[in-house]
Amino acid sequence: MIKASAPAKVNLYFAVGPIREDGYHEVCSVYLSLNLREFVSVEYSDKPQITIMGTLSQAELESVPTDESNLAAKAGRAITDRPLRFEITKNVPVAGGMAGGSADAAAALVATMTLAEVTDFKDAVSLGADIPFAIAGGVAVGLGVGEVLTQVAFPGELHVVLITNPMGLSTGQVYATLDKLREQENLEPESLPLVPTELLSALESANISEVARMAQNDLQRAALWLRPELQETIDLAITHGALTAMVSGSGPTIFAIAESLESAQKIAAAFPHGRALVTSGPGLPARLEN
């Protein structure tokens, strides 16, 4: 059995452009991988099989598909036609906007390629827009649908508090809501969202307060329109010392940037037990595990 892992992510910056001909949106993302990882083990089997375990609630674990729609299984099938058995250890909140499913797929690709002795696979984006970054890790700018990656130097550590919400949000619904809100307000998005050069400079100099000041997410307004109560989570995190707090990706997880580990722990303590998780970034790329 071959075991691999891959990191979750948050988007420090996420600008959404217009809908493309393929149905996706043109985006500009600044990804931060986290020291919060998904683990996937794979081996050949008589029949396809997926076992789910991990640190999440039983309800979350049971919500992960164990059929051919599972992203890890799709990744395995992209490498080999032979039946595979997967053991997936989930640590990233499900449907939380942190690409836990994409991390599963990235880890599955690394493990299955090793198992099948395949040395190259260049079509990860066909499985999901966040999968190339889950493979790459670190900090990166993502263009296109997020798959055209340029690594960004970040010589520091960013402490992050992840505040979960038991009610998931559909990524497609959040994008559709953003499109609807823009149409109602006659807002035309940039045809090619601009790269946030000042944010990149702040990252390269490890200026955490400036990184927090310039962080933004175009999907946040749509997520808050669908779930207005998320604003209370944002406000509470800031009240307890967060430099900023915002929706992670399409949500509903909120991530707060803290100035230190001690500050992050204080922010997390403001929420009910089990709702807030302290982590940091950047995390390592997808890799094999012993």
Active site residues: 9, 130
Distance CA 237, CA 244 (A): 8
What residues have CB less than 8 Å from 2, skipping those under 6 apart? 41, 42, 43, 111, 112, 114, 115, 288
Distance CA 71, CA 77 (A): 10
* Sheet with strand 254-258: strands edge to edge: 244-247, 254-258, 158-163, 276-281
Distance CA 123, CA 132 (A): 9
Within 13 Å and on the Cβ side, how many CA atoms surround 288?
10
Q: How distant is the alpha carbon of residue 33 from its chain centre?
A: 8
